[in-house]
Amino acid sequence: MSVAGVDWPEPGCAAEVIPLARGVALPSSVEVSDGTDLRVRLVLAEYAEQLKVEPGHRVEVLWGGPTGGRSLPAEVTEVRSDPELRWSLQITGPAEASQRRQSVRARVEVPVVARCGSVLITGETVDLSEAGARAWFDGWGLQPPPGTPIDATLELGDGAFTAAGEVVRVEPRGPRWLISVKFPELTEQEQDRLRRRVFEALRLERLRQAD
């Protein structure tokens, strides 16, 4: 017996749609879902339109089920902009458990100021996703263990972005530390802002590769 939420995403839930020919996960909201067909609204329509997805293209749909990540294969049957970008999808296979990392990451180098305990440090990001960042900092004292709170302010180009995070990993490289930080409590609006910066970096990288 098929179960909504397990065998297909329920209407209203957040999902990631990955066009297999493009390999980029696009955030979306599921509007219609009946176990056979889906209709999703793409959150970052401007970037999604640049991928030129058309009917017949295959995609993978990922969402959070009641027991963890789920995914299923589908095919695009219709692309509409009215005015928001929506894709109609036909499910082409069964859902299965998925451990795929849904966060899209890109090389983004922007200034960052962070507070770790009583220490205020400055550095530069190496890459960025809607879930966290990696950044270079000058080393200080003892390395902070995983789970240490760290508040970071990033200059994204459209203004400062501040988030409460925690240390995931520290990799010493001589006098500098490469620190991986995750942002576990971002709102959807804050995640969208980071996604926009990430997708802008991916767009520029695609243009450079096309030259």
For the chain, residues classed under CATH 2.30.110.10 are: 14-97
For the chain, residues classed under CATH 2.40.10.220 are: 106-204
- What is residue 137's predicted lDDT score, i.e. its pLDDT? 95
CATH of domain 14-97: 2.30.110.10
Taking only the tens place, the pLDDT of each residue in 121-151 is 999 999 898 889 999 999 988 899 999 999 9
- Asked if 9 contacts 30 with a C-beta cutoff of 8 angstroms, the reply is yes
Angle at 18 between CA 17 and CA 23, to 5 degrees: 160
Instruction: Name the phi and psi angles at 86, rounded to 5.
Output: -130, 140
Query: Tens digit of pLDDT per residue, the chain (211 long)?
Result: 678 888 999 999 888 898 887 767 788 899 999 889 999 999 878 778 878 899 999 999 998 888 788 999 999 999 998 788 999 999 999 999 886 655 677 889 999 999 998 899 999 999 898 889 999 999 988 899 999 999 999 999 888 999 999 999 999 988 999 999 999 988 888 988 888 888 888 777 766 656 5
DSSP letters along 56-121, please? T-EEEEEEEETTEEEEEEEEEEEEEESSSEEEEEEE-S--EE--------EE---EEEEEETTEEE
- At residue 195, the 3 state secondary structure works out as helix
- Range 146-152, long-range pairs (CB < 8 A, 24+ positions): 148/116, 148/117, 149/116, 149/117, 150/114, 150/115, 150/116, 150/179, 150/181, 151/114, 151/115, 152/112, 152/113, 152/114, 152/181, 152/183
* Alpha carbon distance 184, 55 (integer Å): 36
- Asked if 135 contacts 153 with a C-beta cutoff of 8 angstroms, the reply is no
Fold of 106-204: Thrombin, subunit H (2.40.10)
